[in-house]
Structure 1
Amino acid sequence: MGRIISIANQKGGVGKTTTSINLSACLAELGKKVLVIDLDPQGNTTSGFGIDKEEIENTVYELMLGECSIRESMTKVENIEHLSLIPSNVNLAGAEIELLGINEKEYILKNAVDYIRDDYDFIIIDCPPSLNMLTVNAMTTADSILVPIQCEYYALEGISQLIHTIDLVQERLNSNLRIDGVVFTMYDARTNLSSDVVDTVKENLNATVYQTIIPRNVRLAEAPSHGLPINLYDSKSSGAESYRNLAKEIIERKDV
């Protein structure tokens, strides 16, 4: 049975999409069969894999409205063996309103994913930077939440609200949900601030912290504009090595 990980943090700009793209690509590079679900209306994970989000006929939006099956919503990612994507675009922004009258709307994504989860080793869901119905659907579907935290002064801002939401989902919708762990992103070894943030989070957050820390890296920032994950764009960069290490850590902790 595939392991489903939602990558969530209501704070924007913390590396959710970067992590979704590059972790998925590195898991696939290690031979794991991976499905990525882009649940953000901005569709940056979709374009980050080199897919034109405006030209896609079936996206996660059509899937959630019941206009296509989950297999019909999947797109194969070129150049990456073992990796498929359910894309997203701006149409998804209206989904929350359109789902208002639907019974058990919190389970729409889960009910669809249940059909195919045994086909994959990992299903990675990129959540939007807000705690809305899309994020609740992701948490209801997932086994665990991976929380990227940027190494900056306001790193802990909003984390308590995220944990409160996870607790509510555990209580009411998905009793098996847990926090998989925290991964630090945009780490700058030249500043005291980055190491201070890491220490503060470890002291204040009751969650596993992954040993791998993602550095602030120019090549990581450039890769999405080329429609490539970092392991294809610059395989020897520090960003690529970091995401490979994170993928290995996640595989090793699969049964935790």
Structure 2
Amino acid sequence: MTHKLAIFNMKGGVGKSTSAYNISAGLVQFHQKRVLLIDIDPQGHASAALGIPIWQLDKQLKDVLQRQANIREVVISTASGVDVVPSNILLAEEEIPISGFPGRELLLRKAIGAIADQYDYVLIDCPPNIGVFSVNALMAADAVLIPVDMSYLGLLGINGIERALSLVREQLDHPIDIAGVLATRFDARNNLSKEVLKSLQDHFGPKVFQTRIPETVKLREAPSFSQSIFEYEARGAAAKAYQDLIDEVVQTYE
């Protein structure tokens, strides 16, 4: 069975792309899973972090959504073992035309259907908004993983996330679940981190992952070397945290 997870938050800077590509790489490295990472964020950060030259793409996700390419033509295999459907800013330029397509909410779901059974996990890195691309990601996914940074604004955004999920469930009739809520940029020395985490736990209960992703410079440095945190600093706190998170994800589904 293929598990399809959207990594979603409407706030930027929460570690969404960082989590998407590190979880993908870790599922391959530690659990020998077949993983497809779909980068539907026009920034293309998850693609670039895994070594894909996003400004030299012949074809990308926008071509799939415009029905100008088959998704198999767009998949790129990376050194980490993760297969990626990449994007760059050209995807954003096509948002308005794509928004006018019939059945626009289901374009990604239909595209994934052609290859999903080749993978154990399909992870979708969403843009930080609730536009047509995020809706496509949520409609294509079975569940959503929500990274939340330990800030007041991060906590404030929870209502917006829940409203977006309600829209998908009620207006688009797609029963998407919450796979888990992930505390990111966590600093145990900081009272605000502790307070925000406590608020998340009070609100989401057992849906909050036990793992907390620490605030580290190494997580920000790793993409510049086209490496996951497991390659860049294998013995560091961030690598240990993401490995623990991946174990939690696998235990949830298997």
Task: Judge which range, 96-105 or 142-151, deviates more.
Answer: 96-105
Partner Cα distance (1:167, 1:101) in 2 = 23
> Taking structure 1 as reference, are residues 72 and 124 closer, same or farther at Cα in structure 2, changes over 3 Å only?
same
Q: Which residue of 1 aligns with 2:237?
A: 238
Task: Judge which range, 218-227 or 32-41, deviates more.
Answer: 218-227
Partner Cα distance (2:149, 2:173) in 1 = 27
Give 3-state SS (helix, strand or coil) of 2:38's partner: strand
- The structural deviation recorded for 1:206 is 5.8
1:87-102 to 2 correspondences below 5 Å: 87-102=86-101
Partner Cα distance (2:223, 2:99) in 1 = 34
Partner Cα distance (1:90, 1:34) in 2 = 24
| Alpha-carbon displacement from aligned partner over 1:20-72 (angstroms, at most 9, x marks no partner) | 01111101112010000001111111111111101111111111111110100
Give the counterpart letter for 1:172 in structure 2.
Q
Partner Cα distance (1:41, 1:166) in 2 = 21
Task: Judge which range, 173-182 or 122-131, deviates more.
Answer: 173-182
Q: Which residue of 2 aligns with 1:28?
A: 28
| Alpha-carbon displacement from aligned partner over 1:97-131 (angstroms, at most 9, x marks no partner) | 11133111100000000111111110000000111
Partner Cα distance (2:56, 2:206) in 1 = 40
Partner Cα distance (2:193, 2:69) in 1 = 45
Give 3-state SS (helix, strand or coil) of 1:138's partner: helix
Q: Find out whether 1:15 has 2:15 as its counterpart.
A: yes
Higher normalized helix content (fraction of residues): 2
Give the conservation status (yes or no) of the 8 Å contact 1:182–1:207. no
Q: Which residue of 2 aligns with 1:41?
A: 42
Give the conservation status (yes or no) of the 8 Å contact 2:212–2:241. yes
Q: Which residue of 1 aligns with 2:145?
A: 146
Give 3-state SS (helix, strand or coil) of 2:71's partner: coil
- The structural deviation recorded for 1:239 is 0.7
Gaps of 5+ in 2: none
| Alpha-carbon displacement from aligned partner over 1:177-230 (angstroms, at most 9, x marks no partner) | 111110000111111111111001111346600001001112111101111110
Give the conservation status (yes or no) of the 8 Å contact 1:34–1:122. yes
Give the conservation status (yes or no) of the 8 Å contact 1:8–1:129. yes
Q: Which residue of 2 aligns with 1:55?
A: 56
Taking every aligned residue pair, what percent have the same amino acid on both sides? 36
Q: Which residue of 2 aligns with 1:124?
A: 123
TM-score by structure 2 length? 0.96
Give 3-state SS (helix, strand or coil) of 2:182's partner: strand
Q: Provide the aligned C-alpha RMSD in A.
A: 1.2
TM-score by structure 1 length? 0.96
Give the counterpart letter for 1:228 in structure 2.
Q
Give 3-state SS (helix, strand or coil) of 1:61's partner: helix
**Runs of 4+ off more than 3 Å:** none
Partner Cα distance (1:99, 1:192) in 2 = 44
Q: Which residue of 2 aligns with 1:195?
A: 194
Give the counterpart letter for 1:123 in structure 2.
V
Q: Which residue of 1 aligns with 2:74?
A: 73
Give 3-state SS (helix, strand or coil) of 1:99's partner: helix
- The structural deviation recorded for 1:175 is 2.7
